[in-house]
Structure formats: C-alpha cells, structure tokens
Amino acid sequence: MTLKIEKDWAKAERSQPTVFAIMPDDTTSAKVIKPPTFQEMKRFIDGFVERVKVLDYVDNNGKFHYTYMFVDEEGLLKDLPKNAIATKIYQRNIRYQYPNEKDPFCKADEDFHKELRQRGFTVIDRTVGLPNYTKSNPSIAGRAIYFQGYTCDEVDELLDQDITE
C-alpha cells in the first residue's frame, strides 16, 4: 500500500489535523488523505524512521504546541538531498526555544549533550565529517512526514492503534 496524497499541501487549515508527505525536491509535497501506518511511513521514507518532536505552533497565550515529524534517521549519512521544507519545520523548533542566541542550533546541541551526560550517557557525534552538515545550520535530508495539527499524544495513539490491529 502506498500513501494516498493530494496536491497543494500549503492550503491545509491550521486547526484541522493534516498529514503531509514532504519530498526533498520541494515540488511534490502533498497532503496525505489519511494518516499512514508505521509500515507505510517506513516504505515512503525508505530508511530507518526517526521520530522528531517539532514545534507545530505557538498559541495566542505564548504556549508552545508540539507534534511529530518522521524522517530518515540516516538521511545525512546517506548524503540524501536536503529537504528544505522539513528543514524549516525542524529549525523553527530551535529558533523559538532560543530566540536570543546568536547561534541557536549550537546552543541547543550543547544543552542536549550536557543533559545526556548528566544522565550518565556517552555522547557520540555521528555528524563529524559529514560534507553537507554544520551544527550552525542543521538540516533534514530525504523524505519526511509531518503531522500538522496533531498533538504528540495523538500521533502516538494513531501509531499504537496501527501496531495493535
């Protein structure tokens, strides 16, 4: 089974939960007619699926609302083409969390690694030496699936239903 998609994903309503299949060439991004199963996402992404928590929107009270985007975990390692739309969604998350930082991405990376070390984890940076990656401008490579308007819990619930059926 393949993802059923519609053209013109940008016309989705903000309040209506919508799933988007985002291609790296920026011309074939599309609204998905029904949320995909994990297996459909895996086939579409064509790699190891990584779940990335991203900022969906900030409400009128300044509260951050998060959702998930699914990407190829090894997209950069496989030197897949940059996905500009998925990258903007991913970077928006960091820019809002570190609004006063000159380099919000390096600061976010530093804070994340510090937290991991405090919890007793060893941090291995797999991005060292990648030709198309800099900590100052992280990107998503390859295909992505973005759950706009869904909460993280709602996405988890959809995927849990998929697994138990």
pLDDT tens digits for range 93-125: 888 888 898 888 888 888 888 988 999 988 877
The least confident of 10-19, 110-119, 142-151 is: 10-19
Domain extent for 42: 5-164
pLDDT tens digits for range 59-76: 788 788 889 999 999 998
Which residues share a beta bridge with 68? 53
Amino acid at 43: R
Is residue 3 within 8 Å of residue 21, measured between CB atoms? yes
DSSP single-letter state for residue 62: S
> 162 — phi, psi (to 5°)?
-60, -40
**Closest listed residue to residue 143, CA positions, set 14, 11, 26:** 26
Is residue 26 within 8 Å of residue 85, measured between CB atoms? yes
For β-strands 30-32 and 18-22, DSSP reports them as: antiparallel
- For residue 40, give both structure tokens: 């459909």
Q: How many domains does the chain have?
A: 1
Predicted pLDDT at 126: 67
CB-facing half-sphere around the CA of 115: CA atoms within 13 A: 6
CA distance 143 to 80: 9
Is residue 36 within 8 Å of residue 42, measured between CB atoms? no
Predicted pLDDT at 145: 94
pLDDT at 129 exceeding the cut of 80 = no
pLDDT tens digits for range 18-60: 898 999 976 556 778 788 988 899 999 999 999 999 988 887 8
- Cβ neighbours of residue 153 under 8 Å, at least 6 residues apart? none
